[in-house]
Chain A
Amino acid sequence: MNTVSEIIGLNWIVIGPTLALVATALVLLFCTITITTSDAVKKLVTISGIIFTLFTVFLKFGLFLTEGASSYFSEKILLDEFSLFGNVLLGFILLFNFYPIWNSSFELKDKTTEAIILTLMSTAGFMLMVDSENFMMLFIGLEIGSISLYALAGINKGSLLSNEASLKYFLLGSLASCVLVYGISLMYVSLSVTGVYETTIAISFIGSENVPLTTLIGILLLIIGLLFKVAAAPFQSWAPDVYQGSPTGYVGYMAATAKVASFVVLARLCIVSLGFVMDKFELFFSAIVILSILIGSLFATVQTDMKRLIAYSGVVQSGFILSGMTSGINGTSASLFYLAAYILQLIGIFLILSTISGELTSDFSMNNLSGLFIENKFLSICFSIFMLGLAGLPLTSGFVSKFILITNLWSYEKYILVFALMLSTVAGFYFYLKPIWIAAIDKPENTMAKISLQLNEKISIGTLAAVTILLGVFPNVLINISRWVIENYL
């Protein structure tokens, strides 16, 4: 028995985070259906589940240090730097979003546990996705995560916008999943490969010149499926509607998890699997980057809804991250730094938006912000920090990430991308400063409703803002981490 488990690489620690999250979800389900439990107990169960998840991620680090990068479960699950990076980021996203998610769910009354379970399941799915070596495993993880997110988008049944968001997300998301699966099957048909490393071996075996067109199309479709999840143009059309329609308390979480998981997988795919055939996709990726930056910037300038603005800014930021990921190893490390810095700002902004407008409301007009500086200094300063961070103003993490990324791109001699990124940075100053202007300087037409900030919300927002500044002033630690992720592939 022992030998069999050794041969197939049975190691529960590797999928520990996923298991812990699923187990927490099941306990919560049990607590709701079988025995009635008070909310306090459920809260305790959830938070201890999340902390246990973080602990298992820590255990994975221990395993990684002794075993090194290796695959488990007969080459289905991979434990490498990318999966650890993804796991840590996903875990922190869940932790920072715990309170908005809990508060939103609490407002739902009879569906409180349902929403929590969906959240936990989606993180479980995405954790599995970043851990996957096999493409089928990737698909399973992606689907577990995405289906939970579709349901989460429409959890506020009373709201028309929420229903619309859910349906749109579901229809377009399923289409993207179909494309992804079709891509995987094409790769299997042409090269009989379904794994990250198998693909590399197969490609290097037959030579990058002889890779069949079917495989290339398969890879392309697989990548498109992932690009859909990160809302890169021209696959961005769902993002503004979903962001706008979904309950505000959940949007930060939804946007962040899907982005982190897909980008980590994409980074691994580009570095590990596609190393030999990357030049064939260069034009495609450049086109995606430039389209994302152009479309995102153009549409962001005309938005009047805050959540739509963040959605289009997300399209731009995806373009930035993608530009580094597809430009070689140093670029990928810059992109991973960018990703982490961006995600923290994104979560922070949605935390603030949900405290201002209430967790369950859908649309958030920019005028809601007017008078924020008079009403609540703390929120307004944090809000400015996040927006300036997105714009890339010095002394925030946004500047460091943009500087490192653009320097790397320049040294790869990708002048067109550099030019596009610079242009969008200028445009960014216009649309990121606009909400700050409304919050700080515009005279409010009617005085703002009193914002009651709970201590935990204050702590999470304050921490995220402080991290945004700290990473701008002392970026060394995170940059070293992002270098460590790609170090072995140099």
Chain B
Amino acid sequence: MDAKLSTLIYTLILFPLIGAMVIFLMPKNRSELFQPLAIFLSIIPFSVCLYLFSNVNSKSSYQQFDSINWISSYGIKISFGFSGMSHLLLSLTSVLILLSFLSVTDKHSRSKGFIGSILVLHFAVNGVFLSGDLLSLFIFFEAILIPMYFLMGIWGGENRRYATIKFIIYTVFGSIFIFIGTVYAGVISYSQTGTLALDYLTLTNLSFTQEQSKALFLLFTFGFLVKVPLFPLHTWLPDAHVEAPTAGSILLAGVLLKVGAYGILRVSIPFFTEGFLAYREVIAFLSVVGIIYGAIVAIAQIDIKKLIAYSSISHMGFVMLGISSSTLLSLEGAIVQMVNHGITSGALFMLVGFIYERRHTRRISDFGGLKITMPKYAAIFLFTSFASIGLPGLNGFVGEFMILMGSFNTYKLLTAIAAFGVVLAAIYMLWAYQRMFTGEIQYEQNQNLHDLDTRELFSVIPLLVLMLLIGIYPSFIESYVLNDAKFITDIVELFTGGLD
């Protein structure tokens, strides 16, 4: 890779961090500048991502572009690498960060800590998507926790203490397994190469026995699955979403959930393929359970934010189903669906945030007839709901269709059951829409709600455009994930002997 590209990619990691420092060093009495400055600071990574769309490397499979000696006496290196999947997720992150800065209202925008935490979060997430070795992956993975701890703990809802502690304990518990896995991989690497090198290129050349591969796959995947979250490990998610501030929810759903799936695609499957082949049925089964369970529980919710949280569990179940079937189409679908879900659920949480600022309630039954007072809001909400359900022509359809098509050959029954998740999605989303927006206005407080203003429209409409674009021209985004998906299917086929 050329030097120019590495410089650009380093700016993606370092710029948010420098931005956070700038924000922290700003004088307190100029608080009105924080939000414009933050928007300006996040435009730069965003434009770098846009520029990278034209670069040929952003369509390739994984490439390492730099490696720094970290602890020389143990031979530990910190490496950075890049692929099409990383690039898409980096772009998603930068879009969502930019828009969540736009959508932040006065209450939070004047707080240094809030703006700074989001920038630190941007740094850590970009680090995960660009890391080229297990150690730096773990370091950035854990670094995500610090800004989230403050975002949820300080600016969260009433029950934030419980939700934050639960979120932290779940994630730390999961990442301990990743840590053990990293140490184990280090010990194996030490016995084979004489150094503790853990970069992905070294890992490809190591030979693991079947037991080692299984153990390492379980360790890493468990840690990542907590973050996804897969069905029995999901219980932190609804609490965290409900209590987090709007920007926190957007980033939690839009970006942080992808970190787990990204880890599985980048680390668990390519390096510990034998382990993956041994346990893929379990993951597929659990993800289908998650799809149906999340959808059914979402129907029963009375809190709109919790409803979207449970719908996330269902949608991420599709991603995991696509990953575990590991055909070319399903893997492509899984990566595309990761991006789609980021866009859609980010938009939904943003919309819920808008209405919450007006009414200070999220109970579905407190609304009704909003279509009359807030027509633009209702239209946008309906559009986003359609995208979330998977209406053909919008982005949700593309991902879910690819996943279901690709998985059908591998798991016929499970895929058939999973398809019902789409139907259930229509039930919970449209029923919620019906209760909130249609009919007569029942409560007086809803009479005088003002519709979305320009700032709010500006922060949500780019996401709607993306939904439409991906929906009608999916081959654009598909061309960026093709090589990543191919890389994984090649490895899987290598181990299954080409029979799949």
Contacting pair A426 B176 (CB below 8 A): yes
Pairwise interchain contact B139-A480, C-beta atoms closer than 8 A:
no
Interface string of B193-204 (1 = CB under 8 A from A): 000100000000
Using known A-B contacts A429-B169, A441-B153, A441-B154, determine if residue A407 contacts B142 with beta carbons closer than 8 Å.
no
Counting CB contacts under 8 A, is B7 at the interface?
A: no
A385 to B71, CA, bound (A): 22
What mask results when residues 63 to 85 of chain B are scored 1 for a CB within 8 Å of chain A, else 0? 00000011111100000000000
Instruction: Please tell me which one of the listed residues B139, B150, B172 contacts residue A429 in the complex, with CB atoms under 8 A apart.
Output: B172
Interface string of A458-483 (1 = CB under 8 A from B): 00000000000000001110011001
Residues of A within 8 A of B186 (CB): 407, 410
Q: Which residues does chain A contribute within 8 Å of B69, judged by CB atoms?
A: 476
Complex contact A422–B176 (CB within 8 A): yes
> Hey, which chain B residues are within 8 Å of A426, CB to CB?
172-173, 176
Q: Mark B149-171, 1 if CB is under 8 A from A, else 0.
A: 11001100000110000001100
- Would you call A275 an interface residue if the criterion is a C-beta within 8 Å of the partner chain's C-beta atoms? no
What is the 8 Å Cβ interface bit string for chain B, positions 218-238, against chain A (1 contact, 0 not)? 000000000000000000000
Whole-angstrom distance between the Cβ of A382 and the nearest chain B Cβ = 13
Q: Which residues of B contact A372 (CB under 8 A)?
A: none
Whether the Cβ atoms of B183 and A437 lie closer than 8 Å is no
How far apart are B430's CB and chain A's nearest CB, in angstroms? 39
B187, A399: Cβ atoms under 8 Å? no
When the two chains form the complex, which single residue of A394, A395, A404 contacts B74, counting CB atoms closer than 8 Å?
A404
Cβ contact within 8 Å between A476 and B138? no
CA distance in complex: A483, B72 (Å): 11
**Inter-chain contacts of A425 with B (CB < 8 A):** 176, 179
Is A407 within 8 A of B196, CB to CB? Answer: yes
**Is A395 touching B176 in the complex (CB atoms < 8 A)?**
no
Q: Which B residues touch A437, using CB under 8 A?
A: 153, 161
Q: Assess the A483–B73 pair: CB atoms within 8 A.
A: yes
* Interface: B135 (CB within 8 A): yes
Q: Is the CB of A480 within 8 A of B153?
A: no
B139, A395: Cβ atoms closer than 8 Å: yes
Residues of A within 8 A of B417 (CB): none
Residue from the list A418, A429, A474 in contact with B168, Cβ < 8 A: A429
Min distance, Cβ A377 to any Cβ of chain B, angstroms: 8
Are B176 and A476 neighbours in the complex by a CB distance under 8 Å? no
Q: Please determine whether B143 and A394 come into contact, CB atoms closer than 8 angstroms.
A: yes
Selected from A395, A406, A430, A480, the residue in CB contact (under 8 A) with B72 is A480
- With a CB–CB cut-off of 8 A, which chain A residues contact B180? 418, 422
Kindly state the separation between the CA atoms of A474 and B140 in the bound complex, as whole angstroms: 15
Interface size class of A (residues with CB under 8 A): 20 to 34
Across the interface, do A403 and B153 meet the contact criterion of CB distance under 8 Å? Answer: no
Q: How many whole Å from A286's CB to the nearest CB in chain B?
A: 19
The smallest beta-carbon distance between A419 and chain B, in angstroms, is 9
Q: Is the CB of B142 within 8 A of A422?
A: no
Known: A441-B153, A479-B71, A480-B72. A410 touches B139 (CB 8 A): no
In the bound complex, how far is the Cα of B80 from the Cα of A57, in angstroms?
41
Bound state CA distance, A393 and B171, in angstroms?
A: 13
Query: In the bound complex, how far is the Cα of B173 from the Cα of A425, in angstroms?
Result: 10
Report if B184 contacts A (CB, 8 A).
yes
Residue B190 interfacial (CB < 8 Å)? yes
Query: Contact flags (1/0) for A402-446 with B, using CB distance below 8 Å?
Result: 011011001100000010001001100110010001001100000
CB nearest neighbor in A for B138: A394
Given contacts A403-B183, A476-B69, contact A441 B161 (CB under 8 A): yes
Q: How far is the CA of A121 from the CA of B190 in the complex (A)?
A: 46
B146 at the interface (CB under 8 A from A): yes
Dominant SS among interface residues on chain A: helix
* Contacts known (A388-B146, A411-B187, A480-B73); A440 close to B154, Cβ less than 8 A: yes
Other-chain residue from B140, B168, B169, B183 in contact with A406 (beta carbon distance below 8 A): B183
Contact (Cβ within 8 A) A410 B154:
no
Say yes or no: A399-B71 contact (C-beta < 8 A), given A429-B169, A441-B161: no
- As a 0/1 sequence over residues 373 to 388 of chain B, the CB contacts with chain A under 8 angstroms (1 = contact) are 0000000000000000
Q: Which of chain B's residues has its CB closest to A425's CB? A: B176
Residues in A with CB closer than 8 Å to B191 are: 411
Cα–Cα distance between A476 and B182 once the two chains are bound (Å)? 19
Q: In the complex, what distance in Å separates the CA atom of A410 from the CA atom of B169?
A: 25
B190 (CB) vs chain A CBs: closest residue: A411
Cα–Cα, bound, A196→B196 (Å): 33
* Bound Cα distance from A480 to B161, whole angstroms: 42
The answer to whether B70 touches A475, judged by C-beta atoms less than 8 angstroms apart, is yes
Name the interface residues of B74-105: CB closer than 8 Å to any CB of A.
74
Q: How far is the CA of A422 from the CA of B223 in the complex (A)?
A: 14
CB distance from A299 to the nearest CB of B (A): 20
CB distance from A385 to the nearest CB of B (A): 10
Contact between A422 and B179, CB atoms less than 8 A apart: yes
| Cα of A474 to Cα of B70 in the assembled complex, Å | 7
Least CB separation from A442: chain B residue: B161
Which residues of the partner chain A approach B74 to less than 8 Å between Cβ atoms?
404, 407, 479
Give the distance in Å from the alpha carbon of A406 to the alpha carbon of B176 in the complex: 12
Residues on B with beta carbons closer than 8 Å to the beta carbon of A403: 135, 179, 182-183
Contact of A433 among B168, B182, B187, B190 (CB under 8 A): B168
Most A CB within 10 A of own CB, among B72, B74, B176, B180:
B74
How near does chain B come to A482, taking the closest CB pair, in angstroms? 9
B70: which A residues are within 8 A, CB to CB? Answer: 474-476
Report whether B169 and A430 are in contact in the complex, using a CB–CB cutoff of 8 Å: yes
Q: What A residues does B173 contact at CB under 8 A? A: 426
**Choice from B71, B72, B142, B184 contacting A410 with Cβ under 8 Å:** B184
Which of A394, A395, A422 has the most chain B CB atoms inside 10 A of its CB? A394
Task: Looking at the assembled complex, report how far the CB atom of B22 sits from the nearest CB atom of chain A, in whole angstroms.
Answer: 15
Question: Considering the complex, which residues of chain B in the window 5-54 have a beta carbon less than 8 Å from any beta carbon of chain A?
Answer: none
Residues of A within 8 A of B182 (CB): 403
Known: A406-B183, A410-B183, A429-B169. A394 touches B73 (CB 8 A): no
Q: How far is the CA of A433 from the CA of B69 in the complex (A)?
A: 31
- Complex CA gap A425/B180 in Å reads 11
Shortest distance from the beta carbon of B80 to any chain A beta carbon, whole Å: 15
Assembled-state Cα–Cα distance A447/B482 (Å): 58
* Among A406, A418, A422, A441, residue most surrounded by chain B Cβ atoms (within 10 Å): A441
* A-facing residues in B276-319 (Cβ within 8 Å): none
Q: Among residues 363 to 421 in chain A, which have CB atoms less than 8 Å away from a CB atom of chain B?
A: 388, 393-395, 399-400, 403-404, 406-407, 410-411, 418
In the complex, how many angstroms separate the beta carbon of B76 from the nearest chain A beta carbon?
9
Q: Are A393 and B146 in contact, with the CB atoms below 8 A?
A: yes
The smallest C-beta distance from B480 to any residue of chain A, in angstroms, reads 29
Query: Smallest distance from the beta carbon of B67 to chain A beta carbons, Å?
Result: 14
Chain A residues near B135: list those with CB within 8 A: 403
Residues of A within 8 A of B149 (CB): 433
Q: How far is the CA of A426 from the CA of B172 in the complex (A)?
A: 7
Cα distance A429–B175 in the bound complex, in angstroms: 12
Q: B374 to chain A: closest CB distance in Å?
A: 34
Q: How far is the CA of A395 from the CA of B139 in the complex (A)?
A: 7
Contacts of B161 in A (CB 8 A): 437, 441
A476 to B71, CA, bound (A): 5
A431 → chain B closest CB, angstroms? 12
Q: How far is the CA of A430 from the CA of B176 in the complex (A)?
A: 13
> Which residue of B has the minimal Cβ distance to A483?
B73
17 A-B pairs with CB atoms under 8 Å apart are: A393-B146, A394-B139, A394-B143, A399-B142, A403-B135, A407-B74, A407-B183, A407-B186, A407-B196, A410-B184, A411-B187, A422-B180, A426-B172, A429-B168, A437-B161, A440-B154, A474-B70
Q: A407-B74, A429-B168, A476-B70 are in contact. List 16 more A-B contacts (CB 8 A).
A: A393-B145, A394-B140, A395-B139, A403-B179, A404-B74, A406-B183, A407-B187, A407-B190, A411-B187, A425-B176, A440-B154, A441-B153, A441-B161, A474-B70, A475-B70, A475-B71
Interface residues of A (CB under 8 A from B): 388, 393-395, 399-400, 403-404, 406-407, 410-411, 418, 422, 425-426, 429-430, 433, 437, 440-441, 474-476, 479-480, 483
Residues of B within 8 A of A (CB): 69-74, 135, 138-140, 142-143, 145-146, 149-150, 153-154, 160-161, 168-169, 172-173, 176, 179-180, 182-184, 186-187, 190-191, 196
